[in-house]
Every structure is written in structure tokens, then in C-alpha cells.
Chain A
Amino acid sequence: MIEVKNLHKSFGGVEVLKGISTTFEKGKTNLIIGQSGSGKTVFLKCLLGLFDYEEGTIAYDGKIFSQLTEAEKRNMRAKIGMVFQGSALFDSMTIAQNVMFPLKMFTKQSKSEMEDRVDFVLRRVNLDDAHNKMPSEASGGMQKRVAIARAIVNNPKYLFCDEPNSGLDPKTAIVIDNLIQEITDEYQITTVVNSHDMNSVMEIGEKIVFLKNGLKAWEGSNKTIFKTDNEVVTDFVYSSNLFKKVRKMYIDENE
């Protein structure tokens, strides 16, 4: 579980996060949604420890990150898996080497043990025969799956995904969403997904935090988002005619 309390972050005097407090629960897919410029990526980078923040605390299973020693922070980071928006695969390494990288850096496993683990996670993300391909030879969807495989290879306790299905076709995007959901359930990890894809919201949003102008404007789930009267949320989520109709159908069905 990740607990965030009163998080403030500024850039050059401009406050981007204005006191966000929320909890990301273990074994659930937690979504951060909001318009471009609402502070989602900054929030995610604060959670990852890539940005320092002026005020507030972030606690991983009760341990406040900023109060940890360097060694403790290093150990904590080894428990984090991250899927970047552009996948961020190391382009000088093959797909198998990319996935093996966290094992080589943080474990004392033998080469055969590492290879077995890489085979297992690549199978898990349905990439059985891509071991020797370079990232540049893989499609966008494959790269995302490799990024997920690299993120989970070292059995993380926390999985962060920054817009994991951006740039993907709707079908592949759903495959990626479902994969994230399945992995979260299977390994009981705390997953935080940064997204503005409405399909993701409906499919995997077990917990949703909606940000607007650096503030938490709403909190709920993919079940409660249909019923909310919060105008800020409805303006954003149901901005397209398709989703307006979906919402109407959902409400009609449940009345």
C-alpha cells in the first residue's frame, strides 16, 4: 500500500501539485487520471522518487520514503517495477537482456536461473520467441509487453505504469490493460497506472484518482464513476458522445 499525504511540488515558483492526499491499495489497479497538464506525470515521478517535493509524505507500506537512508532507498527501489510511456527499453540490449537486466543488477542468481526466469516472464506476457530481437525490431505493443516483463521480473511489490497504452491500437491497448490487471491480481502488488485513456478507466480502474490543476478533484472506482455528479469528472470522462451514451445505458440498466 502507498499512502500519500499533502504532497506539494513546484517548478520555478509554479505549484504543480497542491496538496494531494490519497492511498493506493495493495492488489488493486489504481489509476491516476486527468487532463494533460493536470500534474499526473509529476505526481507519478514524485511517487517514484525521481522528483523531490517541498511538502508532504509518501509512505510505502508504512515507511516514509524521504526518511529512509540511501541504502534503504536503494532496497526500496529494487522492489519497484516501472513501465514508461515510451517503454524505455535499453536499445543496445536484446529483449531477453533487457528483461534480465534487473536480475543481473540486484540478484545473485546463476545465469541459468536468470534465463529460466526471463523465459517465464516473457511467456507470461505472450512473447515466447522474441528473446533475441532488438527493441527496434519490436512493435509498440511488443515493446510495452517487454517493458512489463522487465518491470515484473524481479517480483516487485509496486508496479507503476505511465500511460501504458498510449500510441497503441484499441485492441492492443486492451491486451496491455488486461495484462496489467492480471499481473496485479496474480502477484498481489500495488499497481499505479497513469492514464487518460477512458477504456482503461472502465476496464481496470479498481481505484481512480482524478487530478485537476494539481488538486485531487475526485476519488472512486470504475463502478462509482458512472454515478458521480461531480461536474469536473463528468466533463472529462464523458466528453465524447460515445461515453455519454455508455453512461446513460449504464444508469438506465441499473435504475
Chain B
Amino acid sequence: MIAEMFRKPTKWSVMKQLILKDVDDLIIGSLGIVAFISFFVGGVVTIQTALNINNPLIPKYLVGFATRQSIILEFAPTFMSIIMAGKVGSFITSSIGTMRVTEQIDALEVMGINALNYLVFPKFISMLLYPFIISIAMFLGILGGMAACVYGGFSTLEDYIVGIQTDFETFHVVYAFIKTFSFAFLLATIPSFHGFYMKGGALEVGKASTTSFVWTSVAIIVLNYFLTQMLLS
């Protein structure tokens, strides 16, 4: 499927519009849910960390440090991608699957258009902007943590800021974005595959969306394990 996606490219004037539409649907359309979840989960991570640090010998700035590490290393790239497998993945599978069921893909093929290039390639290119979403998730996660920490009275703003600056390693951000790009590839291709090659009617579109969510999540978790093993150990 991936090789076929690059063959017989669609006219650039048409492709440009398709990419912009998919950027709007997949990236811009996801910002709201990403911002909401990141901010509150960041707050929860901070509260949980603060509540588990009972020992007075442990400095208070560790709350900020632990929140930053959790958000940058795992929450933003990995768990946000699983949420996106549900949001973006099911959108891709159901929209392409519906086109299959209603013969719209057949219509493209009869016209001599490479349907994989026309439908999947713009999604693949749009998902190259996925790190933008994850950057926002990182920022808002840490910001949510800060709000929870300060307004919950767990530590001071100064301690939190010291914490998020402590032992900062640039490679951790690089690692997070390597994962993000890899997950973006999975998020664009696995749901497209399940939508494009589905058979049946409306019920099967629903089933294909569920299957695509399950397999995308499994692929993200497994790839996350191997990338972490390779890059951090």
C-alpha cells in the first residue's frame, strides 16, 4: 500500500487542496481535545507526584522535575498518540471506509486516478505536522502541572520552575520527537489501510474503525517499547 501511495501522483493543484483540507481535519481539528486533555492530565500528574512525596528530605522542586519528565518522555508522545488513534485514526478509517462502501473509491479508480495517492498521501503529508500537536501537548501538560501545583498549594511557582529546568537533557526532547514522527506514520497508514481495504456495508465501517484503533494502539505501544530500548538504554 505504501509503495502504491507514491505512484501515479495526483495533479499538484488538486493535491495541494487535499493536503490543506487534511491538515485542517487531522491537525487543526485535534488541537481542542489535545489542549484540554494535556492541561488536565498535566495537573493530575503533578498532584499525584506531589501527594506521593511525603519525605521532607526530598526537595519540592522534584514535583516539577517529575512532571516534566513524565510529560515529555511518555504522556505527550505516546499516550497522546493513543488518544489520537481514537480521534484521528477512526476519522481516517471511517471516512475512507465510507467512500469504499458508497463506491466513491471505485469512481476514482474508473477515472484512472490512483485512489491510494489521492486519499492516503495527503493524510500522510498532513501528519508530518503531528509534532506540532505534541509540542502543544508538552507545553500545556507542563502548564497544567504548574497551575495544579501552585493553586493546589503543593509547592511554590519558583520551586516548580526550578524543577522543570533541573537536569534538562535536550536528547529527551529529540527522543520524544523521534517517537512522535514514528507514531505519525502509524497514525496515517494503519487507519488508511483498514478503511481502504474494508469490505461490506455501514456496519463493517464501524467494525473497521474499531479494528483500526486497536491495531494502531498496539503498534504504537510495541514501537514505543523498541524505540525506548534503542534510544534510551
Contact = CB atoms under 8 A, between A and B. Distances in A.
Interface stretch (A80-88, A118-126, A186-194, A246-254): A80-88
B158 interface: no
B113 A105 contact: yes
B58 interface: no
Contact of B107 (A70, A88, A104): A88
Interface stretch (A71-79, A176-184, A220-228): A71-79
A48 interface: yes
A104 B11 contact: yes
Given A104-B11, A104-B14, A105-B11, A88 B103 contact: yes
Contact of A78 (B104, B109, B111): B111
B4 interface: no
Contacts of B111: 77-78, 80, 82, 102, 105-106
A91 B110 contact: no
B112 interface: yes
Contacts of B107: 82, 84, 88, 90
A50 interface: yes
A102 B107 CA distance: 11
B13 interface: yes
A62 B227 CA distance: 56
Contacts of B13: 104
Nearest to B14: A104
B109 A50 contact: yes
A70 B8 CA distance: 10
Contacts of A91: 98, 102, 104
A88 to B, nearest CB: 4
B10 interface: yes
Contacts of A76: 112
Given A74-B8, A104-B13, A104-B14, A86 B102 contact: yes
Nearest to B114: A74
Interface string B188-224: 0000000000000000000000000000000000000
Contact of A50 (B98, B104, B110): B110
Contacts of A50: 106, 109-110
Residues of A in contact with B, size category: 20 to 34
A160 B103 CA distance: 14
A82 B111 CA distance: 8
Interface in A84-141: 84-86, 88-92, 102, 104-106
A84 B103 contact: yes
Scoring B8, B104, B109, B110 by chain A CB atoms within 10 A of each residue's CB, the highest score goes to B110
B104 A90 contact: yes
Given A104-B11, A104-B13, A78 B103 contact: no
Contact of A73 (B10, B102, B112, B113): B112
Contacts of A160: 110
Contact of B112 (A78, A88, A104): A78
Contacts of A74: 8, 112
B14 A88 contact: no
Interface in A20-70: 48-50, 70
Scoring A48, A50, A82, A105 by chain B CB atoms within 10 A of each residue's CB, the highest score goes to A105
A88 B102 contact: yes
Interface string B95-121: 000100011101101111100000000
A50 B105 CA distance: 11
A103 to B, nearest CB: 11
Given A86-B103, A89-B104, A105-B113, 18 more contacts: A50-B106, A50-B110, A74-B8, A74-B112, A77-B110, A77-B112, A82-B110, A84-B107, A88-B102, A88-B106, A88-B107, A90-B107, A91-B98, A91-B102, A104-B11, A105-B11, A106-B111, A106-B112
Interface of B: 8, 10-11, 13-14, 21, 98, 102-104, 106-107, 109-113
- Give the 6 A-B CB pairs with smallest separation, nearest first: A77-B112, A88-B103, A88-B107, A74-B112, A84-B103, A82-B110
16 contacts: A48-B110, A50-B106, A73-B112, A74-B8, A74-B112, A75-B112, A76-B112, A77-B110, A82-B111, A84-B103, A86-B102, A88-B104, A92-B21, A102-B111, A105-B10, A105-B11
